[in-house]
Structure 1
Protein backbone atom coordinates (compact mmCIF):
# COMPACT_ATOMS: atom_id res chain seq x y z
CA UNK A 1 0.00 0.00 0.00
CA UNK A 2 2.84 2.42 0.82
CA UNK A 3 4.25 1.80 -2.67
CA UNK A 4 0.98 3.02 -4.23
CA UNK A 5 0.96 6.11 -2.03
CA UNK A 6 4.49 7.02 -3.07
CA UNK A 7 3.58 6.58 -6.73
CA UNK A 8 0.47 8.70 -6.27
CA UNK A 9 2.42 11.44 -4.51
CA UNK A 10 5.07 11.51 -7.22
CA UNK A 11 2.53 11.83 -10.00
CA UNK A 12 0.60 14.55 -8.18
CA UNK A 13 3.85 16.45 -7.62
CA UNK A 14 4.48 16.49 -11.36
CA UNK A 15 1.00 17.82 -12.18
CA UNK A 16 0.38 20.02 -9.14
CA UNK A 17 1.01 23.16 -11.15
CA UNK A 18 -2.08 22.31 -13.25
CA UNK A 19 -4.84 22.81 -10.74
CA UNK A 20 -7.74 23.39 -13.13
CA UNK A 21 -10.39 20.68 -13.46
CA UNK A 22 -10.26 18.90 -16.82
CA UNK A 23 -13.05 16.81 -18.27
CA UNK A 24 -13.08 13.78 -20.57
CA UNK A 25 -15.73 13.74 -23.31
CA UNK A 26 -17.23 16.88 -21.80
CA UNK A 27 -18.09 15.10 -18.54
CA UNK A 28 -16.69 15.51 -15.05
CA UNK A 29 -14.85 12.37 -13.95
CA UNK A 30 -15.91 11.77 -10.36
CA UNK A 31 -14.76 9.10 -7.94
CA UNK A 32 -16.90 8.48 -4.87
CA UNK A 33 -16.32 6.26 -1.86
CA UNK A 34 -19.49 4.85 -0.25
CA UNK A 35 -22.56 3.60 -2.10
CA UNK A 36 -24.76 6.28 -0.52
CA UNK A 37 -22.56 9.03 -1.95
CA UNK A 38 -22.29 7.28 -5.32
CA UNK A 39 -26.09 7.12 -5.56
CA UNK A 40 -26.49 10.78 -4.61
CA UNK A 41 -23.82 12.10 -7.00
CA UNK A 42 -25.03 9.96 -9.91
CA UNK A 43 -28.58 11.22 -9.33
CA UNK A 44 -27.53 14.88 -9.31
CA UNK A 45 -24.98 14.56 -12.11
CA UNK A 46 -27.09 12.46 -14.43
CA UNK A 47 -25.75 12.28 -17.97
CA UNK A 48 -23.31 15.16 -17.44
CA UNK A 49 -20.88 13.22 -15.23
CA UNK A 50 -19.11 9.88 -15.09
CA UNK A 51 -19.19 8.46 -11.56
CA UNK A 52 -17.03 5.60 -10.34
CA UNK A 53 -17.71 4.29 -6.85
CA UNK A 54 -14.91 2.58 -4.98
CA UNK A 55 -17.14 0.61 -2.61
CA UNK A 56 -19.97 -1.73 -3.47
CA UNK A 57 -22.83 -3.45 -1.70
CA UNK A 58 -21.90 -5.04 1.61
CA UNK A 59 -18.56 -3.21 1.84
CA UNK A 60 -17.54 -1.84 5.23
CA UNK A 61 -16.04 1.66 4.77
CA UNK A 62 -14.46 1.59 8.23
CA UNK A 63 -12.11 -1.20 7.14
CA UNK A 64 -11.80 -0.46 3.41
CA UNK A 65 -8.28 -0.28 1.96
CA UNK A 66 -7.49 1.12 -1.46
CA UNK A 67 -6.27 -1.29 -4.12
CA UNK A 68 -3.83 -0.37 -6.88
CA UNK A 69 -6.82 -0.03 -9.20
CA UNK A 70 -8.47 2.36 -6.74
CA UNK A 71 -5.39 4.55 -6.68
CA UNK A 72 -5.49 4.75 -10.47
CA UNK A 73 -9.17 5.74 -10.40
CA UNK A 74 -8.48 8.42 -7.81
CA UNK A 75 -5.57 9.84 -9.80
CA UNK A 76 -7.60 10.00 -13.01
CA UNK A 77 -10.58 11.71 -11.37
CA UNK A 78 -11.38 15.40 -11.75
CA UNK A 79 -12.83 15.35 -8.25
CA UNK A 80 -13.15 12.89 -5.36
CA UNK A 81 -16.27 12.99 -3.18
CA UNK A 82 -16.20 11.16 0.13
CA UNK A 83 -17.98 11.12 3.49
CA UNK A 84 -15.32 12.47 5.82
CA UNK A 85 -15.44 12.44 9.63
CA UNK A 86 -12.97 9.56 9.44
CA UNK A 87 -15.56 7.10 8.10
CA UNK A 88 -13.10 5.98 5.43
CA UNK A 89 -10.35 5.77 8.04
CA UNK A 90 -7.88 3.71 6.02
CA UNK A 91 -8.08 6.10 3.06
CA UNK A 92 -7.24 9.22 5.08
CA UNK A 93 -3.54 9.16 4.15
CA UNK A 94 -4.42 9.12 0.46
CA UNK A 95 -6.91 11.98 0.83
CA UNK A 96 -4.37 14.02 2.76
CA UNK A 97 -1.74 13.61 0.03
CA UNK A 98 -4.30 14.62 -2.58
CA UNK A 99 -5.17 17.78 -0.67
CA UNK A 100 -1.51 18.71 -0.37
CA UNK A 101 -1.12 18.33 -4.12
CA UNK A 102 -4.28 20.41 -4.70
CA UNK A 103 -6.34 17.55 -6.04
CA UNK A 104 -10.01 18.52 -5.71
CA UNK A 105 -11.63 16.58 -2.85
CA UNK A 106 -15.07 17.12 -1.34
CA UNK A 107 -16.19 15.74 2.03
CA UNK A 108 -20.01 15.75 2.13
CA UNK A 109 -19.91 15.98 5.93
CA UNK A 110 -18.56 19.53 5.55
CA UNK A 111 -22.15 20.48 4.74
CA UNK A 112 -23.27 19.75 8.30
CA UNK A 113 -22.84 22.26 11.10
CA UNK A 114 -20.70 20.68 13.80
CA UNK A 115 -23.25 21.64 16.45
CA UNK A 116 -25.67 19.14 14.92
CA UNK A 117 -23.22 16.24 14.85
CA UNK A 118 -23.10 13.49 17.46
CA UNK A 119 -19.81 13.52 19.31
CA UNK A 120 -17.80 10.30 19.41
CA UNK A 121 -14.49 9.39 20.98
CA UNK A 122 -14.17 6.41 18.63
CA UNK A 123 -13.19 8.50 15.60
CA UNK A 124 -10.26 10.79 14.96
CA UNK A 125 -12.76 13.42 13.85
CA UNK A 126 -14.45 13.22 17.30
CA UNK A 127 -17.84 12.85 15.57
CA UNK A 128 -20.12 10.01 14.50
CA UNK A 129 -19.77 9.87 10.69
CA UNK A 130 -23.03 8.01 9.87
CA UNK A 131 -24.78 11.23 8.85
CA UNK A 132 -26.80 9.71 5.98
CA UNK A 133 -29.32 8.26 8.42
CA UNK A 134 -30.53 11.74 9.29
CA UNK A 135 -32.54 12.66 6.20
CA UNK A 136 -32.34 16.41 6.91
CA UNK A 137 -28.55 16.15 7.04
CA UNK A 138 -28.51 14.18 3.80
CA UNK A 139 -30.56 16.92 2.18
CA UNK A 140 -27.95 19.43 3.35
CA UNK A 141 -25.19 17.22 1.94
CA UNK A 142 -27.08 17.01 -1.35
CA UNK A 143 -27.41 20.81 -1.52
CA UNK A 144 -23.67 21.09 -0.84
CA UNK A 145 -22.78 18.67 -3.65
CA UNK A 146 -25.09 20.46 -6.09
CA UNK A 147 -23.31 23.74 -5.41
CA UNK A 148 -19.86 22.16 -5.71
CA UNK A 149 -20.69 20.54 -9.06
CA UNK A 150 -22.03 23.85 -10.35
CA UNK A 151 -18.71 25.52 -9.47
CA UNK A 152 -16.72 22.77 -11.15
CA UNK A 153 -18.83 22.71 -14.32
CA UNK A 154 -20.65 26.06 -14.72
CA UNK A 155 -21.90 25.17 -18.21
CA UNK A 156 -24.08 22.46 -16.71
CA UNK A 157 -25.03 24.38 -13.56
CA UNK A 158 -28.70 24.66 -14.52
CA UNK A 159 -28.85 20.91 -15.20
CA UNK A 160 -27.31 20.06 -11.80
CA UNK A 161 -29.64 22.47 -10.04
CA UNK A 162 -32.75 20.96 -11.65
CA UNK A 163 -31.71 17.35 -11.01
CA UNK A 164 -30.60 18.16 -7.48
CA UNK A 165 -33.77 20.01 -6.55
CA UNK A 166 -35.89 17.09 -7.73
CA UNK A 167 -33.81 14.76 -5.58
CA UNK A 168 -34.19 17.01 -2.53
CA UNK A 169 -37.96 16.99 -3.09
CA UNK A 170 -37.89 13.18 -3.12
CA UNK A 171 -35.92 13.20 0.14
CA UNK A 172 -38.53 15.50 1.68
CA UNK A 173 -41.25 13.05 0.64
CA UNK A 174 -39.20 10.16 2.05
CA UNK A 175 -38.91 11.89 5.43
CA UNK A 176 -42.68 12.36 5.61
CA UNK A 177 -43.46 8.78 4.59
CA UNK A 178 -41.11 7.04 7.00
CA UNK A 179 -42.10 9.35 9.85
CA UNK A 180 -45.73 8.32 9.38
CA UNK A 181 -44.76 4.64 9.28
CA UNK A 182 -42.73 4.91 12.48
CA UNK A 183 -45.64 6.53 14.32
CA UNK A 184 -47.28 3.10 14.74
CA UNK A 185 -44.49 2.21 17.19
CA UNK A 186 -44.97 3.52 20.73
CA UNK A 187 -41.92 5.38 22.03
CA UNK A 188 -41.21 2.64 24.60
CA UNK A 189 -40.82 0.13 21.76
CA UNK A 190 -38.35 2.28 19.84
CA UNK A 191 -35.19 0.52 20.96
CA UNK A 192 -32.93 -0.47 18.09
CA UNK A 193 -30.23 -3.07 18.82
CA UNK A 194 -27.75 -3.68 16.00
CA UNK A 195 -24.22 -4.93 15.41
CA UNK A 196 -22.63 -1.47 15.68
CA UNK A 197 -23.82 2.07 16.35
CA UNK A 198 -24.46 3.13 12.77
CA UNK A 199 -27.99 4.32 13.54
CA UNK A 200 -27.54 7.09 16.10
CA UNK A 201 -28.58 9.80 13.61
CA UNK A 202 -31.60 7.65 12.73
CA UNK A 203 -32.39 7.51 16.43
CA UNK A 204 -31.93 11.26 16.78
CA UNK A 205 -34.35 11.95 13.93
CA UNK A 206 -36.99 9.34 14.79
CA UNK A 207 -36.77 9.22 18.59
CA UNK A 208 -35.19 5.74 18.91
CA UNK A 209 -32.82 4.54 21.60
CA UNK A 210 -29.99 2.96 19.63
CA UNK A 211 -27.64 0.35 21.09
CA UNK A 212 -24.79 -1.15 19.06
CA UNK A 213 -22.84 -4.17 20.19
CA UNK A 214 -19.52 -3.05 18.66
CA UNK A 215 -19.68 0.69 19.17
CA UNK A 216 -19.51 3.20 16.33
CA UNK A 217 -16.68 1.60 14.36
CA UNK A 218 -16.70 -1.99 13.16
CA UNK A 219 -12.96 -1.99 13.84
CA UNK A 220 -13.90 -2.28 17.51
CA UNK A 221 -14.48 -5.88 18.60
CA UNK A 222 -17.22 -6.75 21.06
CA UNK A 223 -16.05 -8.77 24.09
CA UNK A 224 -17.87 -11.37 26.16
CA UNK A 225 -18.76 -8.80 28.81
CA UNK A 226 -20.27 -6.53 26.14
CA UNK A 227 -22.44 -9.37 24.90
CA UNK A 228 -23.60 -10.35 28.39
CA UNK A 229 -24.33 -6.76 29.37
CA UNK A 230 -26.40 -6.15 26.26
CA UNK A 231 -28.22 -9.48 26.71
CA UNK A 232 -29.31 -8.36 30.19
CA UNK A 233 -30.46 -5.02 28.75
CA UNK A 234 -32.58 -6.81 26.12
CA UNK A 235 -34.26 -8.93 28.79
CA UNK A 236 -34.83 -5.96 31.09
CA UNK A 237 -36.45 -3.92 28.31
CA UNK A 238 -38.30 -6.93 26.86
CA UNK A 239 -36.98 -6.16 23.38
CA UNK A 240 -38.62 -8.39 20.77
CA UNK A 241 -36.04 -8.23 17.99
CA UNK A 242 -32.43 -7.39 17.23
CA UNK A 243 -30.92 -6.73 13.82
CA UNK A 244 -28.09 -7.94 11.61
CA UNK A 245 -26.30 -5.43 9.36
CA UNK A 246 -25.46 -6.13 5.73
CA UNK A 247 -21.87 -4.87 6.02
CA UNK A 248 -21.06 -6.53 9.37
CA UNK A 249 -20.64 -10.30 9.96
CA UNK A 250 -23.85 -11.67 11.48
CA UNK A 251 -21.98 -13.80 14.02
CA UNK A 252 -21.94 -10.92 16.53
CA UNK A 253 -25.73 -10.65 16.59
CA UNK A 254 -26.11 -14.43 16.61
CA UNK A 255 -23.83 -14.55 19.66
CA UNK A 256 -26.00 -11.91 21.32
CA UNK A 257 -29.16 -13.90 20.57
CA UNK A 258 -27.54 -17.02 22.04
CA UNK A 259 -26.59 -15.09 25.19
CA UNK A 260 -30.19 -13.97 25.63
CA UNK A 261 -31.46 -17.51 25.12
CA UNK A 262 -28.99 -18.82 27.69
CA UNK A 263 -30.82 -16.67 30.23
CA UNK A 264 -34.14 -18.39 29.37
CA UNK A 265 -35.42 -15.50 27.29
CA UNK A 266 -36.23 -15.26 23.59
CA UNK A 267 -35.32 -12.51 21.17
CA UNK A 268 -35.79 -12.75 17.42
CA UNK A 269 -33.40 -11.60 14.71
CA UNK A 270 -35.71 -9.08 13.06
CA UNK A 271 -33.92 -9.00 9.73
CA UNK A 272 -30.91 -7.48 8.02
CA UNK A 273 -30.53 -3.71 7.90
CA UNK A 274 -28.43 -1.76 5.43
CA UNK A 275 -26.06 0.37 7.47
CA UNK A 276 -22.72 1.34 5.94
CA UNK A 277 -23.61 0.29 2.40
CA UNK A 278 -26.67 0.12 0.16
CA UNK A 279 -28.09 -3.07 -1.32
CA UNK A 280 -27.15 -4.63 -4.64
CA UNK A 281 -27.00 -2.33 -7.65
CA UNK A 282 -30.15 -2.51 -9.73
CA UNK A 283 -32.41 -3.25 -6.76
CA UNK A 284 -34.66 -0.85 -4.86
CA UNK A 285 -32.41 -1.23 -1.82
CA UNK A 286 -29.48 -0.28 -4.04
CA UNK A 287 -30.67 3.34 -3.86
CA UNK A 288 -30.56 5.59 -0.81
CA UNK A 289 -34.31 6.14 -0.80
CA UNK A 290 -35.08 2.46 -1.31
CA UNK A 291 -32.62 1.47 1.41
CA UNK A 292 -34.16 3.87 3.90
CA UNK A 293 -37.71 2.67 3.21
CA UNK A 294 -36.63 -0.97 3.49
CA UNK A 295 -34.85 -0.36 6.81
CA UNK A 296 -37.81 1.45 8.34
CA UNK A 297 -40.29 -1.24 7.26
CA UNK A 298 -38.01 -3.99 8.60
CA UNK A 299 -37.57 -2.24 11.95
CA UNK A 300 -41.25 -1.38 12.41
CA UNK A 301 -42.51 -4.84 11.41
CA UNK A 302 -40.10 -6.59 13.77
CA UNK A 303 -40.66 -4.35 16.80
CA UNK A 304 -44.41 -3.72 16.66
Structure 2
Protein backbone atom coordinates (compact mmCIF):
# COMPACT_ATOMS: atom_id res chain seq x y z
CA UNK A 1 0.00 0.00 0.00
CA UNK A 2 1.40 3.43 -0.90
CA UNK A 3 2.10 5.85 1.93
CA UNK A 4 -0.54 8.43 2.79
CA UNK A 5 0.05 12.07 1.80
CA UNK A 6 0.91 12.83 5.44
CA UNK A 7 3.54 10.08 5.44
CA UNK A 8 5.00 11.34 2.16
CA UNK A 9 5.23 14.89 3.50
CA UNK A 10 6.82 13.76 6.75
CA UNK A 11 9.46 11.78 4.85
CA UNK A 12 10.48 14.88 2.90
CA UNK A 13 10.32 17.36 5.75
CA UNK A 14 12.34 15.00 7.90
CA UNK A 15 15.38 15.58 5.68
CA UNK A 16 16.20 19.07 6.89
CA UNK A 17 19.48 18.00 8.47
CA UNK A 18 20.66 15.86 5.57
CA UNK A 19 24.10 16.89 4.19
CA UNK A 20 22.89 17.49 0.60
CA UNK A 21 20.45 20.10 1.94
CA UNK A 22 23.20 22.11 3.64
CA UNK A 23 25.32 22.79 0.56
CA UNK A 24 27.66 19.79 0.81
CA UNK A 25 29.08 18.51 -2.48
CA UNK A 26 27.53 15.38 -3.92
CA UNK A 27 29.31 12.08 -3.47
CA UNK A 28 31.97 11.03 -5.97
CA UNK A 29 30.99 8.69 -8.78
CA UNK A 30 28.21 8.72 -11.38
CA UNK A 31 25.38 11.21 -10.94
CA UNK A 32 22.50 9.36 -9.30
CA UNK A 33 19.40 10.12 -11.35
CA UNK A 34 15.86 8.89 -10.83
CA UNK A 35 13.38 9.27 -13.70
CA UNK A 36 9.70 8.60 -13.35
CA UNK A 37 9.20 7.36 -16.93
CA UNK A 38 11.27 4.94 -18.95
CA UNK A 39 11.49 7.34 -21.94
CA UNK A 40 13.06 10.00 -19.74
CA UNK A 41 15.39 7.46 -18.14
CA UNK A 42 16.56 6.20 -21.54
CA UNK A 43 17.25 9.72 -22.81
CA UNK A 44 19.12 10.64 -19.63
CA UNK A 45 21.36 7.59 -20.10
CA UNK A 46 21.99 8.49 -23.73
CA UNK A 47 23.02 12.04 -22.81
CA UNK A 48 24.89 11.36 -19.58
CA UNK A 49 26.75 8.22 -20.65
CA UNK A 50 28.92 6.57 -18.04
CA UNK A 51 28.70 9.70 -15.90
CA UNK A 52 25.13 8.88 -14.81
CA UNK A 53 23.47 6.00 -12.99
CA UNK A 54 19.80 6.23 -13.93
CA UNK A 55 16.94 4.44 -12.23
CA UNK A 56 13.53 4.46 -13.91
CA UNK A 57 10.52 4.02 -11.66
CA UNK A 58 7.93 2.91 -14.23
CA UNK A 59 8.90 -0.14 -16.23
CA UNK A 60 7.30 -1.92 -19.20
CA UNK A 61 3.53 -2.12 -19.06
CA UNK A 62 3.14 0.46 -16.29
CA UNK A 63 0.45 3.13 -16.63
CA UNK A 64 1.85 6.51 -15.49
CA UNK A 65 -1.58 8.13 -15.21
CA UNK A 66 -2.50 5.89 -12.28
CA UNK A 67 0.96 5.23 -10.83
CA UNK A 68 1.57 6.05 -7.17
CA UNK A 69 5.03 6.12 -5.69
CA UNK A 70 6.00 3.27 -3.40
CA UNK A 71 8.16 3.52 -0.31
CA UNK A 72 11.14 2.28 -2.31
CA UNK A 73 10.46 4.97 -4.93
CA UNK A 74 10.45 7.62 -2.21
CA UNK A 75 13.76 6.34 -0.86
CA UNK A 76 15.28 6.36 -4.36
CA UNK A 77 14.20 9.94 -5.08
CA UNK A 78 15.26 11.21 -1.66
CA UNK A 79 18.73 9.72 -2.13
CA UNK A 80 19.15 10.75 -5.78
CA UNK A 81 21.25 13.69 -6.94
CA UNK A 82 18.51 14.56 -9.45
CA UNK A 83 14.90 13.50 -10.07
CA UNK A 84 13.46 13.91 -13.56
CA UNK A 85 9.73 13.76 -14.16
CA UNK A 86 7.61 14.48 -17.18
CA UNK A 87 4.99 16.95 -15.99
CA UNK A 88 1.95 18.18 -17.97
CA UNK A 89 -0.21 16.30 -15.45
CA UNK A 90 1.03 12.90 -16.64
CA UNK A 91 2.15 11.69 -13.20
CA UNK A 92 -1.06 13.02 -11.66
CA UNK A 93 -0.90 10.80 -8.59
CA UNK A 94 2.70 11.79 -7.81
CA UNK A 95 2.56 15.56 -8.29
CA UNK A 96 2.14 16.55 -4.63
CA UNK A 97 5.12 14.44 -3.63
CA UNK A 98 7.30 15.75 -6.46
CA UNK A 99 6.52 19.37 -5.61
CA UNK A 100 7.40 18.67 -1.98
CA UNK A 101 10.64 17.03 -3.05
CA UNK A 102 11.57 20.01 -5.23
CA UNK A 103 11.75 22.21 -2.14
CA UNK A 104 14.68 20.14 -0.91
CA UNK A 105 16.33 18.38 -3.85
CA UNK A 106 17.10 19.02 -7.56
CA UNK A 107 13.92 18.11 -9.44
CA UNK A 108 12.97 18.91 -13.06
CA UNK A 109 9.65 18.48 -14.91
CA UNK A 110 11.23 18.21 -18.34
CA UNK A 111 8.18 18.36 -20.65
CA UNK A 112 7.03 21.57 -18.98
CA UNK A 113 9.82 23.31 -20.92
CA UNK A 114 7.99 22.93 -24.25
CA UNK A 115 6.35 26.06 -25.70
CA UNK A 116 2.63 26.03 -25.01
CA UNK A 117 1.80 26.76 -28.64
CA UNK A 118 3.26 23.35 -29.57
CA UNK A 119 1.02 21.48 -27.12
CA UNK A 120 -2.46 20.05 -27.60
CA UNK A 121 -5.30 20.59 -25.17
CA UNK A 122 -6.39 17.98 -22.63
CA UNK A 123 -9.75 16.34 -23.30
CA UNK A 124 -10.97 16.65 -19.69
CA UNK A 125 -9.23 19.72 -18.24
CA UNK A 126 -9.46 23.08 -19.96
CA UNK A 127 -6.34 24.42 -18.23
CA UNK A 128 -4.10 21.43 -18.97
CA UNK A 129 -2.40 19.84 -21.97
CA UNK A 130 -2.16 16.40 -23.54
CA UNK A 131 1.06 15.04 -22.00
CA UNK A 132 1.93 12.41 -24.65
CA UNK A 133 4.53 14.57 -26.40
CA UNK A 134 7.00 11.70 -26.84
CA UNK A 135 4.86 10.42 -29.73
CA UNK A 136 6.49 13.06 -31.96
CA UNK A 137 10.31 12.90 -32.07
CA UNK A 138 10.41 16.59 -33.00
CA UNK A 139 8.81 17.43 -29.66
CA UNK A 140 10.98 14.93 -27.83
CA UNK A 141 14.01 16.76 -29.18
CA UNK A 142 12.90 19.74 -27.10
CA UNK A 143 12.42 17.52 -24.07
CA UNK A 144 15.92 16.10 -24.55
CA UNK A 145 17.25 19.67 -24.37
CA UNK A 146 15.57 20.03 -20.99
CA UNK A 147 16.91 16.68 -19.77
CA UNK A 148 20.43 17.66 -20.81
CA UNK A 149 20.09 21.04 -19.11
CA UNK A 150 18.91 19.43 -15.89
CA UNK A 151 21.87 17.02 -15.89
CA UNK A 152 24.34 19.85 -16.45
CA UNK A 153 22.78 21.98 -13.74
CA UNK A 154 23.77 19.36 -11.17
CA UNK A 155 26.94 17.99 -12.79
CA UNK A 156 28.50 20.53 -15.23
CA UNK A 157 31.32 18.11 -16.06
CA UNK A 158 29.05 15.58 -17.78
CA UNK A 159 29.61 15.13 -21.56
CA UNK A 160 26.05 16.16 -22.34
CA UNK A 161 26.88 18.75 -24.99
CA UNK A 162 28.91 16.21 -26.97
CA UNK A 163 26.10 13.66 -26.79
CA UNK A 164 23.14 15.94 -27.41
CA UNK A 165 23.90 16.77 -31.07
CA UNK A 166 24.20 13.13 -32.22
CA UNK A 167 21.16 12.14 -30.18
CA UNK A 168 19.01 14.85 -31.70
CA UNK A 169 20.31 13.90 -35.15
CA UNK A 170 18.96 10.39 -34.47
CA UNK A 171 15.62 11.91 -33.51
CA UNK A 172 15.57 13.85 -36.78
CA UNK A 173 16.36 10.68 -38.75
CA UNK A 174 13.59 8.84 -36.92
CA UNK A 175 11.12 11.59 -37.77
CA UNK A 176 12.19 11.49 -41.44
CA UNK A 177 11.73 7.70 -41.51
CA UNK A 178 8.27 8.06 -40.00
CA UNK A 179 7.39 10.70 -42.60
CA UNK A 180 8.30 8.22 -45.33
CA UNK A 181 6.60 5.05 -44.12
CA UNK A 182 3.48 6.66 -42.68
CA UNK A 183 3.21 8.76 -45.83
CA UNK A 184 2.88 5.49 -47.77
CA UNK A 185 -0.40 4.63 -46.00
CA UNK A 186 -3.34 5.41 -48.31
CA UNK A 187 -5.07 8.60 -47.11
CA UNK A 188 -8.43 6.87 -46.67
CA UNK A 189 -6.79 4.31 -44.37
CA UNK A 190 -5.17 6.79 -42.00
CA UNK A 191 -7.41 5.98 -39.04
CA UNK A 192 -5.60 4.90 -35.87
CA UNK A 193 -7.82 3.36 -33.19
CA UNK A 194 -6.23 2.49 -29.84
CA UNK A 195 -7.26 1.87 -26.24
CA UNK A 196 -6.78 5.43 -24.99
CA UNK A 197 -6.07 8.76 -26.59
CA UNK A 198 -2.27 8.71 -26.36
CA UNK A 199 -1.56 9.28 -30.06
CA UNK A 200 -2.88 12.79 -30.75
CA UNK A 201 0.64 14.16 -31.35
CA UNK A 202 1.26 11.17 -33.64
CA UNK A 203 -1.90 12.05 -35.55
CA UNK A 204 -0.97 15.71 -35.85
CA UNK A 205 2.55 14.91 -37.04
CA UNK A 206 1.53 12.43 -39.75
CA UNK A 207 -2.04 13.26 -40.69
CA UNK A 208 -3.88 10.39 -39.01
CA UNK A 209 -7.40 10.47 -37.59
CA UNK A 210 -6.60 9.17 -34.11
CA UNK A 211 -9.39 7.72 -32.00
CA UNK A 212 -8.97 6.41 -28.45
CA UNK A 213 -11.65 4.38 -26.73
CA UNK A 214 -10.75 6.16 -23.50
CA UNK A 215 -9.65 9.78 -23.23
CA UNK A 216 -6.18 11.23 -22.67
CA UNK A 217 -6.12 9.73 -19.17
CA UNK A 218 -6.62 5.99 -18.76
CA UNK A 219 -8.76 6.76 -15.70
CA UNK A 220 -11.66 7.84 -17.92
CA UNK A 221 -14.14 5.12 -18.83
CA UNK A 222 -15.55 4.40 -22.28
CA UNK A 223 -19.35 4.15 -22.38
CA UNK A 224 -21.59 2.19 -24.72
CA UNK A 225 -22.18 5.29 -26.85
CA UNK A 226 -18.44 5.71 -27.44
CA UNK A 227 -18.08 2.06 -28.47
CA UNK A 228 -21.01 2.39 -30.88
CA UNK A 229 -19.54 5.58 -32.34
CA UNK A 230 -16.21 3.88 -33.03
CA UNK A 231 -17.85 0.77 -34.47
CA UNK A 232 -19.67 2.99 -36.96
CA UNK A 233 -16.42 4.74 -37.87
CA UNK A 234 -14.58 1.45 -38.42
CA UNK A 235 -17.34 0.12 -40.66
CA UNK A 236 -17.79 3.36 -42.60
CA UNK A 237 -14.07 3.85 -43.24
CA UNK A 238 -13.44 0.11 -43.73
CA UNK A 239 -10.59 0.21 -41.23
CA UNK A 240 -8.95 -3.18 -41.12
CA UNK A 241 -6.93 -3.05 -37.90
CA UNK A 242 -7.03 -1.58 -34.40
CA UNK A 243 -4.15 -1.59 -31.93
CA UNK A 244 -3.57 -2.78 -28.39
CA UNK A 245 -1.40 -0.69 -26.06
CA UNK A 246 1.22 -2.34 -23.89
CA UNK A 247 0.12 -0.49 -20.72
CA UNK A 248 -3.68 -0.48 -21.18
CA UNK A 249 -6.33 -3.22 -21.08
CA UNK A 250 -7.59 -4.44 -24.46
CA UNK A 251 -11.16 -4.98 -23.21
CA UNK A 252 -12.58 -2.03 -25.17
CA UNK A 253 -10.86 -3.12 -28.37
CA UNK A 254 -12.42 -6.55 -28.09
CA UNK A 255 -15.81 -4.88 -27.86
CA UNK A 256 -15.06 -2.96 -31.07
CA UNK A 257 -14.10 -6.13 -32.92
CA UNK A 258 -17.30 -7.85 -31.79
CA UNK A 259 -19.38 -4.81 -32.74
CA UNK A 260 -17.94 -4.54 -36.24
CA UNK A 261 -18.33 -8.28 -36.79
CA UNK A 262 -22.02 -7.95 -35.95
CA UNK A 263 -22.26 -5.44 -38.82
CA UNK A 264 -20.46 -7.70 -41.28
CA UNK A 265 -17.05 -6.00 -41.18
CA UNK A 266 -13.86 -7.75 -40.04
CA UNK A 267 -11.37 -5.86 -37.91
CA UNK A 268 -8.32 -7.51 -36.43
CA UNK A 269 -5.85 -6.61 -33.71
CA UNK A 270 -2.97 -5.10 -35.68
CA UNK A 271 -0.48 -5.58 -32.86
CA UNK A 272 0.72 -3.95 -29.66
CA UNK A 273 1.81 -0.30 -29.65
CA UNK A 274 3.91 1.29 -26.95
CA UNK A 275 2.00 4.27 -25.61
CA UNK A 276 2.87 5.21 -22.02
CA UNK A 277 5.75 2.78 -21.57
CA UNK A 278 8.56 1.31 -23.69
CA UNK A 279 9.32 -2.32 -24.44
CA UNK A 280 11.22 -4.81 -22.32
CA UNK A 281 14.60 -3.78 -20.99
CA UNK A 282 17.46 -5.08 -23.11
CA UNK A 283 15.49 -4.94 -26.36
CA UNK A 284 15.63 -2.32 -29.09
CA UNK A 285 11.97 -1.56 -28.37
CA UNK A 286 13.06 -0.90 -24.79
CA UNK A 287 14.70 2.34 -25.97
CA UNK A 288 12.94 5.55 -26.96
CA UNK A 289 14.24 5.34 -30.54
CA UNK A 290 13.18 1.70 -30.81
CA UNK A 291 9.78 2.35 -29.26
CA UNK A 292 8.87 4.97 -31.86
CA UNK A 293 10.41 2.94 -34.70
CA UNK A 294 8.21 0.01 -33.63
CA UNK A 295 5.06 2.13 -33.46
CA UNK A 296 5.41 3.88 -36.81
CA UNK A 297 6.52 0.71 -38.61
CA UNK A 298 3.67 -1.38 -37.20
CA UNK A 299 0.99 1.24 -37.89
CA UNK A 300 2.22 1.80 -41.44
CA UNK A 301 2.45 -1.92 -42.19
CA UNK A 302 -0.94 -2.86 -40.73
CA UNK A 303 -2.84 0.03 -42.35
CA UNK A 304 -1.57 -0.61 -45.85
CA UNK A 305 1.74 1.24 -46.09
CA UNK A 306 5.15 0.03 -47.19
CA UNK A 307 7.87 -0.58 -44.60
CA UNK A 308 11.35 -2.14 -44.61
CA UNK A 309 11.90 -5.44 -42.87
CA UNK A 310 12.90 -4.78 -39.27
CA UNK A 311 12.05 -1.09 -39.33
CA UNK A 312 14.32 1.93 -39.71
CA UNK A 313 17.55 0.16 -38.76
CA UNK A 314 16.52 -3.46 -39.30
CA UNK A 315 16.54 -4.01 -35.51
CA UNK A 316 12.89 -4.38 -34.63
CA UNK A 317 11.79 -7.45 -32.72
CA UNK A 318 15.36 -8.51 -31.99
CA UNK A 319 17.60 -8.11 -28.92
CA UNK A 320 19.30 -4.68 -28.75
Q: TM-score under structure 2 normalisation? A: 0.89
Deviations 1:199-257 (A, max 9, x none): 00011111111100001110111112211111111111111111110000112211111
Matches within 5 A, 1:1-304: 1-2=3-4, 4-15=7-18, 18=21, 20=23, 22-99=25-102, 101-123=103-125, 126-156=128-158, 159-304=159-304
The 8 Å contact of residues 106 and 154 in structure 2, kept in 1 or not, is answered as no
* Secondary structure at 1:172 match in 2: helix
With 205-214 and 18-27 compared, the bigger mean Cα shift is at: 18-27
Q: Distance in 2 between matches of 1:57 and 1:192?
A: 22
Unpaired runs of 5+ residues, structure 1, are: none
Report the Cα offset of residue 189 of structure 1.
1.5
Structural RMSD (CA): 1.7
Relative distance call for 1:292 and 1:227 in structure 2 (3 A) is: same
Size of the aligned set, in residue pairs, is 301
Report the Cα offset of residue 19 of structure 1.
5.9
The 8 Å contact of residues 21 and 105 in structure 2, kept in 1 or not, is answered as no
Q: Distance in 2 between matches of 1:290 and 1:71?
A: 29
Report the Cα offset of residue 126 of structure 1.
1.1
Report the Cα offset of residue 25 of structure 1.
3.0
Q: Distance in 2 between matches of 1:114 and 1:19?
A: 35
Deviations 1:162-199 (A, max 9, x none): 11221111111111112111121122211100000100
The 8 Å contact of residues 19 and 103 in structure 1, kept in 2 or not, is answered as no
Q: Distance in 2 between matches of 1:113 and 1:154?
A: 25
Q: Distance in 2 between matches of 1:125 and 1:22?
A: 39
The 8 Å contact of residues 12 and 98 in structure 1, kept in 2 or not, is answered as no
Relative distance call for 1:22 and 1:260 in structure 2 (3 A) is: farther
Unpaired runs of 5+ residues, structure 2, are: 305-320
Q: Distance in 1 between matches of 2:70 and 2:31?
A: 23
